[in-house]
Chains A and B, each alone.
Chain A
Amino acid sequence: MIRLPGPRRPRSAAAPASGGAPGAAAAPPAAVLDPRAIERLHELDPTGSQGVVERVLRAYQNALARQIDEIDAARGADDSERLSRLAHTLKSSSASVGAVRLSQLCAGVERALRTQPPAALGAEVEALIHEARQVAAAVRAILVV
């Protein structure tokens, strides 16, 4: 089930039927995913008939999994340009789904890469990957894959 704060709890088609397992998501999703962002997604599809929230989150999930690997690879290859582009893309898509902290980390890395090589940003990139994994887990928890 998709955990959502706020007044409206839509009978989302995206909401997995397996509901009623709040404890399953140990990590508090609110910490990595801003509920207001999810709410905005719902507003795009108020009746839920288009399954917008699920579609977006699945797309994000797929992209995120791929991007984590790519970022890891780019870091290893010291490929500044590739790393920068990945950070840029992840920055905006993360913001869209409410992964605010991840988006900020991406922005930081993107900005730092303009002046520094990837090698100098080991910690920041590590933090980014870490956060990305947290977000992936949170999304997975929502979607109850």
Chain B
Amino acid sequence: MSPAAPATADDRTREKPRVLLVDDDEVTLMLTAIALRERGFQVVECESGKRALEILAETTPDIVVLDALMPEPDGFTTCRLLRAMPGFENVPVLMLTGLDDDASITRAYEAGATDFFVKSSQWSLLDGRLRYLLRASRTRLELERSKAKLARAQDLARMGSFDWRGQGRLVLSGEALRVFGYPPAESTGLRALLRMVPAEDRRLLVRMLRDATKRGSVFTTDVPINLWDGGERVIHVEAEPEFNEQGQAIGYTGILQDVTDRRVAEDKIRHLANFDALTGLPNRRQLIWRAERALDHAKRMQHQCALLLIDLDRFKVINDTLGHHSGDELLMEVARRLRGCVRHSDQVLDGAYELGGLRSHRSLEAVGRLGGDEFVALLPEVADEHDADRVAQRILEVTREPIFVGGQECFVTASVGVAMFPRDGGTVADLMRNSDVAMYSVKGTGRNAAAIYGPQLAGRGREKLELETALHKAIERNELVLHYQPKIDVRNARLIGVEALMRWQRGGRLVAPGEFIPLAEETGLIVPLSEWAMGEAARQARTWQQSFGFAESIAVNLPSRLFERSNLIDHIHHCVTTQGVPHRVIMLEITEDNLMKDLQNVIPALHRLNEIGVEIAIDDFGTGYSSLSYLTTLPISELKIDRSFVRDLGVSPQSSAVVTAIIALARSLGLRVIAEGVETLRQMEVLHRLGVVVMQGFLFSRPVAPGDLESWLDQSVRSRAAPWIGQATELEAAAEHPRAVSGRV
């Protein structure tokens, strides 16, 4: 006999198993104990069931070996009592019985024994049996733990499993029942579960189930359900068929998972990807997607679509004046109004659209936000362009209504460009571009209107685009130059400054400002152009200073948007200091129109400019707003009478009245007055008589190239050879001019 039964590594490494040995026969008890100890067990001997229960109350052995036949309590009773003790439900109990005692074997199992063993002096058999039971017990324990873990994991994942044997024999795990909101032990059937699915989805699901079972294929789907408590859930179902040995499908086994949260997150992501966060409108991506679907449909059904591009006029002003928060509020309100202009559909569209019917393209109709203050209205089916125009007019109407944001009423207008499919473009990109062209044509003609695209716009657009491209390169190619027109004090024929005027030498031709400045303003190129002009003016001032002692100012025209730039002061400072000329060398001219448009933004800049010695002139004065009261609050130095009044002097009496009024106003405010566009001696004479002594115009000089200024000075002023000089001197000598305005009064 081998000294020890074969033991697994696991058995050996483990601590010695503890055995409680119960036998009333002391000889057997002693022998068995000795034999087991020799085989690596720790044995507690005990000669009665009563004593065994006492021991168990204090310690827990790994296994209990009970002699079946003992004085009461015998092995069976002891086993039963033991099982009733908490913590001993699963301890392995081996019942020792006689060889010829079938009844005892049955009774042993009934009493809760794990196994029975016929007494034998073959100790290795007992050893082997005990170790087997211990292993089984350990495996069982691990299984229990693993099952508990699985249940916990499934619970956390809101997951459960099921078996389906067809004909309603559906068995759900406790966890699966919980997914459906049932208590763990409830029994339910497929029919009851299907009733939780909304009718429409249910029909689809039943069809899918039939298909899958007929073909014996794997079944995977997400099913929406309504719980009894009214909650809505999405259940993910994954099932695979089970087959018997003959290869026949006998049912399905699978898992269920509550994926509601995931679905909600997915929906949210889809929404974020397709809708504008601020206004909740479809975003560019979603719009393009919808437009493509609409075009497909229109092609198939041979009807027209319309794309309306809506751009708010001067939104930036509102944004900058009232702050971004108010700007956002305004956009939200505009978005809300625009929605009302179409049959706006909010559905997140992707694959679902394909399921729709003939009229489903109607659900594509929407207003979306492309970004900033740009919106698009997509009309998937229109009879003609008048249909589209009606919507455009409605849009203009609703945007014109005052909007209350940031504590005040705002007036917003919009420019709308319309492109029609298929007439104005066969693709979404074409329609977008052409509606853009149409929209810009509105901007160019005064805003607050709608225009329908036409080929004539496209031509202009192309020309403009070319010009724009060329203008972009003009600065880097040094194609821009400044020409200078002298400002003359006619009393003493003295040059008191020049106005810088931009010219573009484009391919051997000198392009006039009127041809490219509006485009530069529209595209924003005016900003780099003006910045260049300031630098160039400062440079020129230094050159002239060195060549002939020029110490006057150079006036540079500045669009109002440059005043909004926070770095304007820095830029001027940089320009003059790098040239080593004083700040007052640069003078800025801003048109009355521009000034009024952006008054709130411009005023702070004007003050700062004044502080550093840069003077401001108001250009084209008299043509803009009739209310002049604002002038009293502005830190300006000079008013330039618009050339239109000068032209009409001596022709229409109103002109001299205007000029007189301007002079009176300037005097009361302590401003210089200068007349532009003086072309004749007659005009000069009248202006002089009215009290204007500083003038600018062809009479004195055209704008000249920088290198020509000195020779002009030599030829006409210093030599006093120009015809106007004689006359001016005469006038000056002949008349007393108490009203003359020269410099600050």
Contacts and interface: CB of A to CB of B under 8 A. Distances in A.
A37 B27 CA distance: 14
Interface string A88-108: 110011011100000000000
B30 A92 contact: no
Contact of A96 (B1, B98, B121): B121
B653 interface: no
B78 to A, nearest CB: 16
Contact of B30 (A37, A59, A89, A95): A59
Contacts of B25: 63, 89, 92-93
A96 B69 contact: no
A140 interface: no
A40 interface: yes
Contacts of A55: 30
Interface in B112-133: 119, 121, 123
A27 interface: no
Contacts of B123: 44
Given A85-B71, A88-B69, A96-B121, A44 B28 contact: no
Given A37-B121, A40-B121, A88-B98, A50 B34 contact: yes
B31 interface: yes
B30 A44 contact: no
A59 B33 CA distance: 14
Nearest to A41: B31
Given A85-B69, A88-B69, A88-B98, A96 B28 contact: yes
Contacts of B34: 44-45, 50, 52, 56
B69 A95 contact: no
A43 B35 CA distance: 9
B183 to A, nearest CB: 52
A92 B28 contact: yes
Contacts of B522: none
Nearest to A40: B121
Contacts of A85: 69, 71
B374 interface: no
A56 B1 contact: no
A105 B330 CA distance: 111
A64 to B, nearest CB: 9
Given A37-B121, A85-B69, A96-B121, A44 B31 contact: yes
A59 B27 contact: yes
Interface residues of B, number: 18
Contacts of B28: 92-93, 96
A43 B34 CA distance: 11
A56 B31 contact: yes
B126 to A, nearest CB: 12
B27 A93 contact: yes
Contacts of B119: 92
Contacts of B38: 44-45
Which applies to chain A's interface (DSSP): helix, strand, loop or mixed? helix
B26 interface: yes
B240 interface: no
A41 B119 CA distance: 16
B24 interface: yes
Among B1, B24, B26, B100, which residue has the most Cβ atoms of chain A within 10 A?
B26
A79 B35 CA distance: 35
Given A85-B69, A85-B71, A88-B69, A44 B35 contact: yes
Contacts of B31: 41, 44, 56, 96
Contacts of A63: 25-27
A98 to B, nearest CB: 9
A43 B1 contact: yes
Contacts of A59: 26-27, 30
Interface in A80-133: 85, 88-89, 92-93, 95-97, 111
Contacts of B26: 59, 63, 93
Contacts of B24: 89
B27 A60 contact: yes
A93 B38 CA distance: 20
Interface in B407-452: none
Q: Which of B25, B35, B71 has the most CB of A within 10 A?
A: B25
Nearest to B31: A96
A50 B28 CA distance: 17
Contacts of B98: 88, 92
Interface in B24-66: 24-28, 30-31, 34-35, 38
A43 B69 CA distance: 28
A89 B29 CA distance: 11
A42 B38 CA distance: 12
Nearest to B27: A93
Contacts of B100: 111
B1 to A, nearest CB: 6
B34 to A, nearest CB: 5
B102 to A, nearest CB: 13
B27 A56 contact: yes
Contacts of B69: 85, 88
A96 B98 CA distance: 14
A56 B35 CA distance: 12
16 contacts: A37-B121, A40-B1, A43-B1, A44-B35, A44-B38, A56-B27, A56-B31, A56-B34, A60-B27, A88-B69, A92-B28, A92-B98, A92-B119, A96-B28, A96-B121, A97-B27
Q: Which 7 A-B pairs have the closest CB atoms?
A: A93-B27, A89-B25, A60-B27, A93-B25, A44-B34, A59-B27, A96-B31
Interface of B: 1, 24-28, 30-31, 34-35, 38, 69, 71, 98, 100, 119, 121, 123
Given A52-B34, A56-B34, A88-B98, 7 more contacts: A56-B30, A56-B31, A59-B26, A59-B27, A88-B69, A96-B28, A111-B100
